Chains A and B, each alone.
Chain A
Amino acid sequence: MAAGKKRGGRNTRKVIVAKSQKLVAPADYKDCEGLKKYLGPQGQIHGRSRTGFGAQDQKSVKRAVKRARHLALLPFVG
Chain B
Amino acid sequence: MAQIYEGMFVLDNDNVRAGWSGAKAVATDLIVKHGGTVTTARHWGERNLAYPIKGKSRATYMLTYYELPNEGLLGFVRDLDLSVPILRYLLLAVDALPEGEEAEAAKEVASDFALPDPPRDDVGEYRLWEETDEDRPRSPRREHTEEAPSMDEDETEEPVAVAAEGADSTEEN
Interface stretch, picked from A2-10, A14-22, A46-54, A67-75, is A67-75
In the assembled complex, the CB of A46 is this many whole angstroms from the nearest CB of chain B, namely 18
In contact, A72 and B53 (Cβ under 8 angstroms) = yes
In contact, B90 and A69 (Cβ under 8 angstroms) = no
In contact, B61 and A71 (Cβ under 8 angstroms) = yes
B34 adjacent to chain A (CB < 8 Å)? no
In contact, A69 and B50 (Cβ under 8 angstroms) = yes
In the assembled complex, the CB of B10 is this many whole angstroms from the nearest CB of chain A, namely 6
Cα of A45 to Cα of B88 in the assembled complex, Å: 23
Cα of A76 to Cα of B59 in the assembled complex, Å: 18
In the assembled complex, the CB of A78 is this many whole angstroms from the nearest CB of chain B, namely 9
Can you name the residue of chain A whose Cβ is closest to the Cβ of B8?
A71
In contact, A70 and B51 (Cβ under 8 angstroms) = no
* Main SS class of interface, A: loop
Tell me which residues across on chain A come within 8 A of B25, comparing CB atoms: none
In contact, B88 and A75 (Cβ under 8 angstroms) = no
Mark interface residues in B49-80 (1 if CB within 8 Å of A CB, else 0): 11101000001010100000000000000000
Interface size on B, residues (CB 8 A): 14
In contact, B90 and A72 (Cβ under 8 angstroms) = no
In contact, A75 and B90 (Cβ under 8 angstroms) = no
In contact, B90 and A70 (Cβ under 8 angstroms) = yes
Can you name the residue of chain A whose Cβ is closest to the Cβ of B89?
A71
Cα of A78 to Cα of B40 in the assembled complex, Å: 34
Tell me which residues across on chain B come within 8 A of A30, comparing CB atoms: 8, 44, 63
**Which of A30, A69, A76 has most chain B Cβ within 10 Å?**
A30
In contact, A76 and B51 (Cβ under 8 angstroms) = yes
In the assembled complex, the CB of A56 is this many whole angstroms from the nearest CB of chain B, namely 18
In contact, A71 and B90 (Cβ under 8 angstroms) = yes
Which A residues are within 8 Å of any B CB, using their own CB? Answer: 29-30, 67, 69-76
Besides A67-B92, A71-B88, A72-B59, 8 more A-B contacts (Cβ < 8 Å) are A29-B90, A70-B88, A72-B49, A72-B51, A72-B53, A72-B88, A73-B50, A74-B50
